[in-house]
Amino acid sequence: MVHVQHLFKQYKNTEQPSVDDLSFSFEKGTIVGLLGPNGAGKTTTISILCGLIRAYGGDVNVLGMNLKSNTEELKYKIGVVPQQIALYPELSCKENLIYYGKLYSLSGKVLTEKIHTLLQQFGLLEHADKQIKHFSGGMKRRANIIASLLNDPMLLILDEPTAGVDVQSRSMILSFLRSYNEQGHSIIYTSHLLDEAEALCHEVLIIDKGKKIIQGTPNAIIKENDTPNLEALFLKLTGNNVRD
Amino acid sequence: MQRIIATYIKEWHLMRRDLGGLALLFLMPIILIIIMALVQDAPFKDYKVHTFDAIFVNEDGGKVAASIRQGLLESKQFQLIETYNQTPIDFLTTQKLIQKGSYQFAIVVPNGISAEVVNSANVIANEMGRQMGLTASLPHRESREGMSVQLMFDPVCKPAFRLAITNVVEKFITKIQSDIVLERIAKLSQRTDTDTGTFDIQKQLQSVGVKEISSHEKKLMVSKMNSVQHTVPAWAIFGMFFMIIIISDSIISERLGGSWTRLKLIPGAFSDILIGKMLFYVLLGIIQFYLMLLVGIFMMPWFGLPSMQLGHSPFLLCIMVTCLSCCATTFGILVGSLFKTSNQALPVAAISVVILSAVGGVWVPVEVLPDSLRAVSLISPMRWGLQGINNLLLRECSWNDIVKPCAVLLSGTMFTLFLSWVIEKKRMDQ
């Protein structure tokens, strides 16, 4: 499903690489938690996987295709939920979704029905005509996810999708991710909420300073390292020092 | 095509909800055009329609001073101030009043001017009489150096105003001098009993005048030399380039807000999105320009200004305006690509518009700029836009005369678009 080998990326005017010889892989239908402290290289890795930025070295294969030579084709099969609310605040939720849907070459009844279904699924149907700027934090997050689902992606990549949302919205998002995964879709997910990751993910990959620290199922790696939970394991592997 | 239309509609929704942006695009240029047309109306009018308060100091007391005074009053251009605190105004008081800015200028006729002019006229008359074989001569002496009617200006007076007033006064003095010469010749001829009959020398001297005519075969141009005709297109172009602020802010907001990222993640859509965005702003620029022309046609007369007259080539004008709008749009895209935040981009956008307009002939004609600035003006799209539009509206030119401005503007469009692409690519490769 996703095979990453010796991935390397260093931003200009920086001393340390953001991603340094990172290799990992996982199979179709998996929910993978990409975890790490601030500045570990999670967002850079995600940005490379979805073709947003280019790596300086390494090889990435997604859904059986090489990323370098099939970037545009792969974009059709990948959905990315950015950390920011990547929607137009002045447009209504529906206007945003229609716009992004049309950019994915959807139109007419197909698009209308898809938007209707997703809005209903995320509890935003009655707010469809409200401008995004008038949404609460949780509503914005949910709308942000909907916009990334319009192309029905095989691989959904989410960058901290539950950051700053209330308990109800978080529960709704997590239950959606589970059901989406049950339909056969793969998910890569980053978060600082380790209990959430432990409960949701089939596999976790902890990275720090651009390097892989550990990968495996949450239960297995917790047991292997003799820690009570994922958070304790995380602190054990990445240290207690506060990161910028 | 669906993506282009979708982007166009999205931009429309965003724009119609941005009241500040709409005001910047439409209301501000309308106000600017009206004010600039009113401000620049005065220099376009003949000085004959203005009346100036002028201090008149008569130290001469002779015929010349009286003639100058009479001429100035008859011209109805000058309201002469000859007394101050109910006493005749003198040179020192005049200096104080002008220095204080109470009056803009003074005409001082020094003592001895009349005697000098009469002496000069006698010398001329004697010489002409000698060449005609007359034996009589009028009394004369050696000419005195440095005799002149003096003009004193308020230091804040602009050179153009000084020149205009100097020309008007010189014209009066020349007329008075010629009158006196003619009078002296007549006096000399009476002495020698030469019969001049009914010959009118004054009339003969005025038989050849100066008249402005049209350089265009359709004789349309002279009637169009007014402030509206010059101001409206120039400031409409200036207003169009303020679109740069809106476009760059839109791009930066999309980038910072994350929408730009999402747009980049949609396969093959980026060029369509860019075309849709450009199409919207190019059309907006065209609408804005034509709205300004409508202001020139219909609103200017409300302010006592002449109505704007359009040229005979509406189609060519449309092509010219489209090229100009393309250039303004891609310049906005370049500014939006170049800067990371609106705080960086907006001052640069605003100041660059002012600079490009200053060197582009919007404020003053390019022809009066120093050589170095004239060279710089070649990179100003406003210069080429104004040149093309003036060719159509004022010079009544044809397609051949707008090909070069259009080509330069489209080259600028391609160049700025290419630079934006390079910057975005560099950002992706970082």
Please indicate, yes or no, whether residues B56 and B20 belong to a single structural domain of this protein. Answer: no
Task: Specify the pLDDT at position B197.
Answer: 53
Co-location of B253 and B396 in the same domain: yes
- B290 shares its domain with B424: yes
How far is B385 from B366, CA to CA, in rounded Å? 13
Cβ atoms of residues B325 and B25 within 8 Å: no
Instruction: Supply the pLDDT for residue A55.
Output: 83
Q: Does the CB of A177 have a partner CB in chain B at under 8 Å?
A: no
CA distances from A103 to A99, A106, A193, B293 (A): 6, 7, 33, 37
Residue B417 lies in a domain: yes
Nearest by CB to residue B430, choosing from A11, A85, A89, is A11
Distance (Å, whole) CA B242 – CA B33: 13
Which residues in chain A are contacts of B2 at CB distance < 8 A?
Answer: 102, 105, 107
pLDDT at A16: 86
Give yes or no: residues B19 and B104 share one domain.
Answer: no
Answer yes or no: do B262 and A95 touch at CB < 8 A: no
**pLDDT tens, A77-129?**
888 888 888 899 999 999 999 999 998 888 889 999 999 999 998 888 898 89
Beta bridge partners of A8: A20, A57
pLDDT of residue B324: 93
**Best of A103, A140, A152 to disrupt the B interface by mutation (most B CBs within 10 Å)?**
A103
Last residue of a domain, one of B205, B239, B259: B205
Q: Where are the beta strands (DSSP E) in chain A?
A: 2-9, 19-26, 31-35, 57-62, 65-66, 78-81, 155-159, 186-190, 203-208, 211-216
Yes or no, beta carbons of B3 and A12 under 8 Å apart: no
* DSSP label at residue A229: S
pLDDT of residue B201: 58
The closest alpha carbon to A116, from A131, A132, A98, A90, belongs to A98
Answer yes or no: are the C-beta atoms of A189 and A113 closer than 8 Å. no
Domain housing B338: 2-43+220-429
Q: How many CB atoms lie within 10 A of CB B325?
A: 27
In the stretch 224-263 of chain B, residues with CB closer than 8 A to chain A read 254, 257-259, 261-263
- Report yes or no on B144 lying in a domain: yes
Nearest to A75 among B17, B18, B266 (CB): B266
Q: Is B76 domain-assigned?
A: yes
Q: Are residues B297 and B327 both part of a single domain?
A: yes
- What is the Cβ-side half-sphere exposure of residue B77, based on CA atoms within 13 angstroms? 15
Is the domain of B187 the same as that of B285? Answer: no
Calculate Rg over the CA atoms of chain A. Answer: 18
Q: In which region does residue A26 sit, left (phi positive, over 0), alpha (psi from -120 to 50) or beta (all else)?
A: beta
Q: Does B6 touch chain A (CB under 8 A)?
A: yes
Give residues 6 to 25 of A whose Cβ lies within 8 Å of B: 11-12
Q: Are residues B76 and B96 in the same domain?
A: yes
Q: Which of B351, B391, B398 is nearest to B233 (CA)?
A: B391
B342 in a domain, yes or no? Answer: yes
Note whether A82 contacts B9, CB cutoff 8 Å: no
**B265 has a chain A CB within 8 A of its CB:** yes
Examine the domain organization and report whether B37 and B104 are in the same domain: no
Question: Edge-to-edge strand order for the sheet containing A65-66?
Answer: A19-26, A2-9, A57-62, A65-66
Distance CA B23, CA B246 (A): 11
- Contact flag B13-A90 (C-beta cutoff 8 Å): yes
Q: Which of A54, A72, A102 sits opposite B429 (nearest CB)?
A: A54
Report long-range pairs for B176-183 (Cβ below 8 Å, ≥24 apart): B176/B64, B176/B67, B176/B68, B176/B71, B176/B117, B177/B117, B177/B120, B177/B121, B178/B205, B179/B67, B180/B63, B180/B64, B180/B117, B180/B118, B180/B121, B181/B120, B181/B121, B181/B124, B181/B125, B183/B121
B192 and B247 both lie in a single domain: no
Full set of structural domains in chain A with CATH = 2-238 (3.40.50.300)
Give a yes or no: residue B258 inside a domain: yes
Tally of domains in chain B: 2
Contact yes or no for B231/B40 (Cβ under 8 A): yes
Asked if A98 contacts A148 with a C-beta cutoff of 8 angstroms, the reply is: no
Asked if the C-beta of A113 comes within 8 angstroms of chain B's C-beta atoms, the answer is no
How close, in Å, is residue B422 to chain A by CA atoms?
A: 15
**Residue ranges, chain B, pLDDT below 50:** 222
Least CA distance to B250: which residue of chain A?
A88
| Tokens coding B171 | 């014209």
* Cα dihedral across residues B242, B317, B273, A10: positive or negative: negative
Gap between the Cα atoms of A194 and A211, Å rounded: 19
B264: nearest CA partner in chain A? A52
Asked if A103 lies within 8 A of B266 by C-beta distance, the reply is: yes
Q: Does B233 lie in the same domain as B181?
A: no
Tell which of B246, B262, B429 to mutate to test the A interface (max A CBs under 10 Å): B262
Q: Which chain B residues contact residue A98 at CB under 8 A?
A: 6
Using CB atoms within 10 Å of the CB of residue B96, give its burial: 0 to 12 exposed, 13 to 18 middle, 19+ buried. exposed
* Domain end point (choices B153, B172, B205): B205
ipTM of the complex: 0.83
Closest residue in chain A to residue B259, using alpha carbons only: A86
Asked if the structure places residue B214 within a domain, the reply is: no
Q: Are residues B193 and B267 in the same domain?
A: no
* B258 contact residues in A (CB cutoff 8 A): 82-87
CA A43 centroid distance within chain: 9
Q: How confident is the model at residue A242 (pLDDT cuts 50, 70, 90)?
A: low
Nearest CA in chain B to A50: B265
pLDDT of B337-392, one tens digit each? 888 888 888 888 889 889 988 888 888 777 777 888 888 888 899 989 988 888 88
CA dihedral sign, ordered A113, A119, A120, A125: negative
| CA B162 to centroid of chain Cα atoms | 17
The answer to whether residue A72 neighbours chain B at the CB level (below 8 Å) is yes
Residue of A nearest to B255 (CA): A86
Residue A75: which of B2, B3, B265 has the nearest Cβ? Answer: B265
Give the whole-angstrom CA distance, residue B186 versus residue B173: 20
The backbone region for A164, taken as left when phi is positive above 0, alpha when psi lies in -120 to 50, beta otherwise, is left
Q: Could you tell me how far CA A97 lies from the centroid of its own chain?
A: 19
The model's pLDDT over A178-192, given as tens digits with 9 standing for 90+, comes to 888 898 889 998 888
Name the residue facing B257 among A53, A86, A99 (closest C-beta).
Answer: A86
User: Is residue B212 domain-resident?
Assistant: no
Domain boundary among B153, B173, B205: B205
Helices (H), ranges, A7-151: 42-49, 71-77, 93-103, 108-121, 137-147
Minimal CA separation from B101 to chain A, in Å: 54
Residues of B in contact with A89 (CB under 8 A): 257
The closest CB to that of A50, out of B254, B259, B265, belongs to B265
Are residues B381 and B271 located together in one domain of the fold? yes
Residue B253 corresponds to which amino acid? Answer: S
Res A52 pLDDT > 60: yes
User: What's chain B's length in residues?
Assistant: 430
Q: Cα distance from A18 to chain B (closest Cα, Å)?
A: 12
Nearest Cβ partner for B268 among A72, A80, A95: A72
Four-residue CA torsion sign, B147, B152, B157, B161? negative
Let me know if residue B213 belongs to a domain: no
Tell me the nearest-neighbour CA distance from B17 into chain A, angstroms: 7
